Chains A and B, each alone.
Chain A
């Protein structure tokens, strides 16, 4: 614990100086960067989408879910926490990266429309869900045994993705299919690697990382392993999920409760 508090103080100081310095440099912030977004209607979002598909889609994917040249924009933003911040990024790009920003000729109005479109990709406004989140939370920790594999806010197992903010990245219907058909669309991070060592012993675990020459995995006891491919006898990849389906184990109502709980797990709005 004392180690940790030693860490936190200088980090905080660094953060503070980072956030205050630019403000001091630009005493007069750009007007549009502080203004509210006036273009948030459905039509504005659609116009924003048009601009996005023309100017941004080739890097960020046609639907903003990420591509060869740019990150996924449907999972919240690393570089901006406010509309004004997003506006600035879209307008000016991010220096020293591929991120070029909107055409110089585009008006501030269409830039705001793009901001509205980006927000629509991250829309997590509450929808009416049949389940009960409080019951879901109990199922998660208890009968469902979900916590043995998943962490939520620092508590739980390591054999599945951290779900602390899963409500930001998955919609309710997607969550339901995550629970019922885990073998569909398994991210390669969660494939299983089965490695036969030279002495014939087997090591099996979740595929944390693999490249041309080496691979790293975590076994069932949460031990980390790193192998050079040339030093093992053989290895295979199992592309199915290690997560059991809830079908048969839980009732439909229980699944609804879990979905309601999972969807409530979101990043706190700033």
Chain B
């Protein structure tokens, strides 16, 4: 780990301890800032400062991997609670905090953010975003985190705005409306900084919206480009939607993407086609729903797409964080993207071309015989939702969902939260009314929760084979972090937070945090001490080694 220098301001210890780094601006004497501006250089090289967690997925390749190793597989049993921060709203939290030089930024329901001292959890400031009282949100008042560039935070809000907030004070810098919330648009995901722009998606796939990914000038808030996830009638792929169904086709973009600086490509997943469970009104493959998109960052033009679930009728959004790595496969170095999809298949894709390399199920599935040579699923007949109900695995919530998987460059394993469940899927006729839900059915678990299990599975991305699994009872909907201490951290719906050995999958430590863990863990260090943070229920817990 990097050595951290202690900055002394006028004989008083600064609360946040600033690590020495050549890239950061010098602090003025007497006004020691708790953090220094986060330049694009710093974001590009986030791996070089593992004491900071500078973006939602940790680094631009989204590995959700912490380079810190002070806590490792032999001392993790000595973790203890260092502090807890209680979010004043009761909503379950999905936030992954960002930490910059000893300051932590935590987003809260409905669309607020607080800055706290990362060593103590005590508040610097808070920003409360004013919201209308007639929001259209499908699934709770969620917010998953901020992005930072320079001294400005960028956050999505439930009324489909992107706000820029001063990171030292919480003052609003600018506020941009992306779309009309009354038509069903909202925003929940952390944006992604690329150079001097803020790349961001939207939510609303249960409201017949039309998806897009935007890139804004970080300084001015001006739109640089918008990439629509459903092509308009002038584009040949528009033919993959029967009639006018493309207009209300969904394909929202509600989780953060990744970026490859060498290729200058932004990678982003898209959600379900709408209406979710009634495909009869939108015959065709429904491009580019349930897909991974590769967008040129200069222009927003699409370089390639890979559709995981053509003509989805089960709500299996490709809303997963794309994980990028360079792997040696068959004696050749390949730039790949790894993706465990809600449809229960794991994929390794060439991220230069979008070529399908590897694909195998990682969770129970009964809807496809397998994938063909191009990675397209070979569907089993009679697995579509019906009026009387059709039972299929995975369930609506998927073999996995939006919470982050992790990749460790040390073990070369991809860690995913897998669920071996099933649902009975129903289909309904439904007319589109702007601003109303447009789902065309639903799913229902046929048996008690205890009949099904989750497991953390370690996948070999070169083969798609499972290396080990750790079973969780009854289930988990938590993200995963891997660390250089060869640990894998995650949690469960019944309120455990735990650590596994990244190599063997053995359980090494667990703690009852009392309520649903629905976010993803992250790690950082202040003053030379490593911390591990997880939100559970509406509380943000931070653990460290016993002093």
A: which residues have CB within 8 A of B?
53-55, 57-58, 61-63, 65, 67-69, 96-98, 100, 103-105, 187-188, 210-213, 230
Contact = CB atoms under 8 A, between A and B. Distances in A.
B139 interface: yes
Contacts of B436: 103, 105
B433 interface: yes
Given A212-B472, A212-B496, A67 B439 contact: no
B517 to A, nearest CB: 12
A67 B140 contact: no
Interface residues of B, number: 44
B496 A96 contact: no
B473 A212 contact: yes
B134 A57 contact: no
Given A53-B428, A68-B396, A212-B510, 20 more contacts: A53-B442, A55-B437, A58-B396, A58-B442, A61-B442, A67-B445, A68-B397, A68-B445, A69-B139, A100-B137, A100-B138, A104-B136, A187-B448, A188-B450, A210-B450, A212-B471, A212-B472, A212-B473, A212-B494, A213-B507
B367 interface: no
B442 A211 contact: no
B504 to A, nearest CB: 15
A72 to B, nearest CB: 11
Interface in B378-407: 389, 395-397
Contact of A62 (B397, B426, B472): B426
A69 B140 CA distance: 10
Nearest to B440: A54
Given A58-B396, A103-B437, A212 B492 contact: yes
B444 A67 contact: yes
21 contacts: A53-B442, A54-B437, A57-B426, A57-B442, A58-B439, A58-B442, A61-B442, A62-B426, A62-B442, A68-B397, A68-B445, A69-B139, A96-B91, A96-B109, A98-B140, A100-B138, A188-B449, A211-B473, A212-B471, A212-B473, A213-B510
Contacts, number: 84
Contacts of B448: 187-188
Contact of A68 (B395, B430, B496): B395
Contact of B90 (A69, A96, A211): A96
A69 B445 CA distance: 11
B511 to A, nearest CB: 10
A168 B437 CA distance: 32
B435 interface: yes
Contacts of B397: 68
Contacts of B430: 54
B443 interface: yes
B89 interface: yes
B496 A62 contact: no
B136 to A, nearest CB: 8
Contact of B444 (A62, A98, A100, A211): A62
A188 to B, nearest CB: 4
B429 to A, nearest CB: 9
A130 to B, nearest CB: 32
A54 B139 contact: no
B363 to A, nearest CB: 16
Nearest to B454: A212
Contacts of A97: 90-91
A153 to B, nearest CB: 27
A98 B396 contact: no
Given A58-B396, A187-B448, A53 B437 contact: no
B139 A211 contact: no
Contacts of A65: 444
B428 A54 contact: yes
B442 A98 contact: no
A98 B139 contact: yes
A137 to B, nearest CB: 31
Interchain residue pairs A-B with the least CB separation, the first 4: A188-B450, A58-B442, A57-B442, A61-B444
A58 B443 contact: yes
A187 B450 CA distance: 9
Contacts of A67: 442-445
B494 A211 contact: yes
A13 to B, nearest CB: 24
Contacts of B472: 212
A68 B394 CA distance: 13
